Each structure stands twice: as structure tokens, then as C-alpha cells.
Amino acid sequence: MIRLSVIVKLINKTLQWLVTGLCLLTIAGCVNDDVSDLSNYISKVKARPKGKIAPLPEIKIVEPFIFKPAGLRDPFRPVERLDDPEDVDVSSGTGIRPDTSRRKEELELYSLDTLRMVGTLSMNSGLWGLVKASDGTIHRVKVGNHMGRNYGKIIRIEQDKIELMEIVPDQQGTWKEQQAALALTE
């Protein structure tokens, strides 16, 4: 008498072989030696017109800048500047003083480092400078106008810069003149 467990094992082995055989037959049926459709597709892709490559962007030539340090402050020495020039006692001392009695111009409300020169304008009366304030407003200035918080007076306007002479506190109660400039930025 054959045991039931032996029969179940025999059936399981037979089923495993049968399933394996069916899988192999299915895989063998998928193999096709004819790859002409693939070859046709590849030849169509190769026959397409080639795309154009965009040209390289034009290289802008940057003009060299020659630094002329004559007459400029040594950048490695600390700046001796008071916070607000109006806090200085001007009653003592002699020599250069800002004219505090004159009416301030609009560009004197801005510090010089927040102002940018954006161009020039040639008119009948000469060359005018165009200055952009930090709020985005563009102002037209001429020689003799004032700008900046250090009583800066415009002494020269050129195509690429506006030169100023500022009056800054030197020591308690004394003032000195200091040259500054706005260079063309845009």
C-alpha cells in the first residue's frame, strides 16, 4: 500500500515539471529571429534631418580699468568719520565749513553709496548727469548741485563719472574737504 503522502509528493513533482516545461515552451515561442522591424525603425531615425546647434553667445570685450591711487585714501587705514555730520559743533574751529543755512537739495537726503550714476545728457547748457536714487527715481544733476549726506558739491561731470567735493568732519569742530565720485554703473 502506497502511502498518501508519497502520492502527494509525486503529484507535486509532476506539476513542477509540467509548469517548468510550459514556461520554457512559452519563452521559446517568443523568440523571433526576424528583427527587420527593429532595423527599419533604426534606419528611419538615422535618416531624420540633423538638428541645428545654437551658436555660442557673443563674447563681450571688457575694457581694462587702470587704478590710479594718487590722492585717494589708504584703504587699509580705518575711516575716521562721525555718524551724523550735523552733530558736530561748528561754532568752534576755523577754515572750511558746510553752508548749513542753504536749503538742502533732494539728493542730499540719500547717502552717496545708495546713489548710482546711470548716464549723461548733453544739452545746450552743457553736460548733465543722470543719477538713480535708491527708490528708483532718476534725477538730472549739473555742476554746482549738491548730493549725499556729507554736503557733497558736484565739481565735474564726465561721460563715465560724476566728481564731488564733500565736506566731512575731521576732528571735533573742524572740517575737511574730501573728493568722491560716482562711476557709471549701467
> Among the CATH numbers 2.60.40.10, 3.40.50.450, 2.30.30.830, 2.40.180.10, which is that of 87-183?
2.30.30.830
The 10 Å Cβ neighbour count of residue 12 is 10
CA angle 78, 81, 85 (to 5 degrees): 175
pTM for the predicted model, two decimal places: 0.49
Q: Return per-residue pLDDT of the chain as tens, 186 residues.
A: 567 888 888 889 999 999 999 988 888 777 767 778 888 999 999 999 888 888 988 988 888 888 777 777 777 877 665 445 455 444 545 578 888 888 999 999 999 989 999 999 888 778 999 999 988 899 999 999 999 999 999 999 999 999 999 998 877 778 889 899 998 876
Q: Which of 65, 81, 139, 77 is nearest to 108 (CA)?
A: 139
